[in-house]
Amino acid sequence: MSRDQIYSLPQTRIGDFTFDDAVADVFPDMIARSVPGYSSILSMIEQLASRFIRPGTNVYDLGCSLGAATMLMRGRAPATSRIYAIDNSPAMVARLKEQIGSEPNRCDVVVQEADICDTPMSNASFVVMNLTLQFVSIEKRTELIQTIYDSLIPGGAMLLSEKIRFDEHDQNLLMVDLHHDFKLAHGYSELEIAQKRTALENRLLPESIDEHTVRLRDAGFRCVAPWFQCFNFASILAVKMEPAGPGTELSK
């Protein structure tokens, strides 16, 4: 695994962050050293795959990057299910296709270079957006979540992990500072942290847990469970409930 040194030298002009070849080369190191609790989220994705993926259904890893979640789900998915790993980064998609080709055959994995906002989805039992929605334009997020909900079978689930912000100023400042300390503790310099922050400020647009929860409920998810938080990163499990029995209100 190559070490992330993309922002280690001073840059006269810092452009917007992009998932290009340079980032793809160091991405596992970058995300492990930048996202507190990342390994815990991945292990939960693997566990949830066993619980929610059904034979003959589709699974979507939206914004799959190098396919860490895809590969874990593939190990737990029934052979008759199919995983769609989708990302708009050519560099990420190319590397994932190489990895998929070298793995033993399990369930079918389809790797696609595409915009997740324009991707048709259907017959889904499990959908993962692991640190992806934060890079989608805010005005497109509601429609995307609705598309995901509509694609899920009853009993299907969505896992949404995001960098979050806090409405209370002092709380938000504290979490930002603790995240800063986390990156320092994992070997990033003040220069690297500052330059990457500048590159991300127009690309990564965080929202609060409440904003995500309201959007998920408005889409139709009756069970919305924030299950993980570490500093300013959180993960939410949302389940499309089975229809209720006779004489009770049906879920949307």
| Residue 62 forms part of a structural domain | yes
pLDDT greater than 60 at residue 50: yes
Whether 218 is in a domain gets the answer: yes
Radius of gyration, CA atoms only, the chain:
18
Number of neighbours of residue 48 by Cβ within 10 angstroms: 19
CB atoms under 10 Å from CB of 200, counted, come to 17
Task: Tell me whether residue 130 is annotated as binding.
Answer: yes
Number of domains in the chain: 1
With 0-12 / 13-18 / 19 or more C-beta atoms within 10 angstroms meaning exposed / middle / buried, residue 58 is: buried
Write down the pTM of the prediction. Answer: 0.94
Is 249 within the bounds of a domain?
Answer: no
pLDDT of residue 106: 77
Q: What is the mean pLDDT of residues 124-136?
A: 98
29 among annotated binding-site residues: no
Q: Is residue 129 part of a domain?
A: yes
116 is in an annotated binding site: yes
6 domain-assigned: no
The amino acid present at 187, given as its one-letter code, is G
Instruction: Write down the pLDDT at residue 12.
Output: 87
For the stretch 150-169, pLDDT in tens is 999 999 999 999 999 999 99
Whose structure tokens read 């690309």? 203
**150 labeled part of a ligand binding site:** no
Domain extent, residue 28, equals 21-239
Strands 82-87 and 124-130: unpaired
Q: Within a domain: residue 210? A: yes
Q: Is 202 annotated as a binding residue?
A: no
Instruction: Check which CATH number belongs to the domain holding 52 and give it.
Output: 3.40.50.150
Are 216 and 133 in contact by the 8 Å Cβ rule? The answer is no
pLDDT in tens, 32-48: 999 999 999 999 999 99
Q: How many helices (H) and strands (E) does the chain have?
A: 8, 7
Residue 87 marked in a binding site: yes
The answer to whether the annotation marks 33 as part of a ligand binding site is no
- Is residue 251 assigned to a domain? no
Q: Is 58 annotated as a binding residue?
A: no
170-229 residue pLDDT tens: 999 999 999 999 999 999 999 999 999 999 999 999 999 999 999 999 999 999 999 999
2 in a structural domain: no
